[in-house]
Amino acid sequence: MRSRVWGGTAAVVLGGLLAAGCGGGEGDTGAGAGQSGRPGGRPVSVTDCTGARTTFSAVPERIVTSNASGLELLLRLGAGDKVVGTGFPPGKGTLPGPLDAKAQQVKVLSRTVIPKEKLLGSGADLYLDTFASMGGMGGGGMGDAPTAEEFAAAGIKHVYLKSTACAAQRGTPVTDLSAVEADITTLGAVTGTSAQAKKLVSGMRAKVDAVREAVGDTPEKERPTYFFFDYDAGTARPTVVCDRQIANAVITLAGARNAFADCAGDHRQVGWEDVVARNPDWIQLGIRDRGSEAANGRAFDEAEQWLKSNAATKGLEAVKKGRLLRIGSERTTIAGVRNADTVREIAAALHPGKVR
C-alpha cells in the first residue's frame, strides 16, 4: 500500500480541479495536476502550513530558494533555469553529476539565511521557503522575516516546503515520504513540470514499496534500533533526530526503529548518557558531503574513530560489533528524491536476507 497524502493540506488546484498532493492513499499521483507537463491549465493554487492559499496565474520566472533542499527539487524537475538565487547553497560535489554543475551556477544570496532586504530586493516572483519549522527566518536568532505585506509589496509569492517547513507543526510523527511526494507534485504544477514530477514520485514509490514489501512482516519488536549520529553538529552533546524530522520516516521505512522517536519535534540535543541508555543496534555516521569521495571517506573515518575512542560510546553494541553505516547526512535529513535511495540502502544493511 502506498503512503497516504500528507495531512490533506498539500493541495494543488488546477483549472478548478483539486489534486491532493500525490493523490489519496492508493490513487494516482498528481491526478488533474497538469500531467502533460505543459504550463497551461492556470490558475494553480497551493496551500501553506495553515491552509492559506497562494494562486499562480502564470509560471514563476524568477525563483529564490531558502536553501539547497528547494533548489535540488527544482533542478530535478527541470526548472533550475528559473532559480535566480539561493541561501544555504549546496557545497561543491554535494549533488550528483549534472545537478551539481547546475547548482554551482545559481547565484548565492547568502551562505546562511538570506537577509530580509536582499530577499525583498532580489527581483524574485516566488520565494520557496524551508524554515517555518524554525519559526520562519525570525526563529532561533535567524534574523527578521519579511511580513506577508512586505512580500506582496515586492511582488513575491511565498510558498513553503511542507516536508520541512511544516513538519514540526504536525500532530503526528513523520513516518512516510508523502510530504516529499506532495512537495514534488505541487512544485511540478506550479512550474509546469508535472510530467517530470510524476516520474520522480513514481520512482521514489517503487523503491520504497519494494522495501516495504520485503520487511513489512518483520514484527516491530524485532526491528533493530537505529541512531543517526550527526557528527558535524558537534560531539560535546549529540543532536538527535526526533519524530517530526524526515530522517525518522527514512529510518522507519527501512525497517528500523529510531532510537529517539519518542521526542516530539525535528531535532534535540541530549546527553551521551541518553544514547548509552538506549544502546542502539545500528549507528549511522551522518557526515555532510565534503565534495569528494576521498574527503568524505576521511570524515567517515573521523566519526567512526570518535565513537571507538570516546569513553561514553566505545562500549555501545553497535560500535563493538561494527554496525556503523556510512551514509551522508543530506540524503537522510533533507527532504528530497534521494530519501528513497537511503531507505533502500539502510534496509539492505539491516535486513540483508530480505533486501538486496
The per-residue pLDDT for range 2-36, each reduced to its tens digit, is 332 333 333 333 332 223 333 333 233 332 333 33
C-alpha cell at 166: 511544516
pLDDT of amino acid 186: 94
Of 35-49, 107-121, 126-140, 142-156, the range with the highest mean pLDDT is: 107-121
Of the listed ranges 32-46, 70-84, 94-108, 304-318, the least confidently predicted one is 32-46
Check whether 178 has a pLDDT greater than 90: yes
pLDDT band at 132 (very low <50, low <70, confident <90, very high): low
Check whether 128 has a pLDDT greater than 90: yes
pLDDT of amino acid 215: 94
C-alpha cell at 182: 506532495
Of the listed ranges 63-67, 165-169, 315-319, the least confidently predicted one is 165-169
C-alpha cell at 334: 533533507
pLDDT of amino acid 40: 54
For residues 142-146, average pLDDT: 72
**Partner residues linked to 110 by β-bridges:** 87
* Mean pLDDT (the chain, rounded): 86
pLDDT of amino acid 124: 98
For the chain, domains (ranges, CATH) are 11-204 (3.40.50.1980), 219-350 (3.40.50.1980)
pLDDT of amino acid 356: 79
pLDDT of amino acid 22: 32
DSSP strand pairing (11-14 vs 17-20): antiparallel
Taking the C-alpha atoms of residue 191 and residue 188, their distance in angstroms, rounded to an integer, is: 5
Give the type of residue at 170. R
**DSSP conformation letters of 189-233:** HHHT-HHHHHHHHHHHHHHHHHHHHHHTTS-GGGSPEEEEEEGGG
Q: What is the pLDDT of residues 212-233, one digit of tens each?
A: 999 988 999 999 999 999 999 9
pLDDT band at 135 (very low <50, low <70, confident <90, very high): very low
pLDDT band at 205 (very low <50, low <70, confident <90, very high): very high
* Helix boundaries (H) for 254-322: 272-278, 293-309, 317-320
pLDDT of amino acid 3: 33
Tell me what percent of the residues of the chain surpass a pLDDT of 90: 73
Residues 129/158, Cβ–Cβ less than 8 Å:
yes
| E strand residue ranges, 246-347 | 257-258, 267-269, 282-286, 324-325
pLDDT of amino acid 211: 97
Taking the C-alpha atoms of residue 284 and residue 238, their distance in angstroms, rounded to an integer, is: 13
pLDDT of amino acid 47: 87
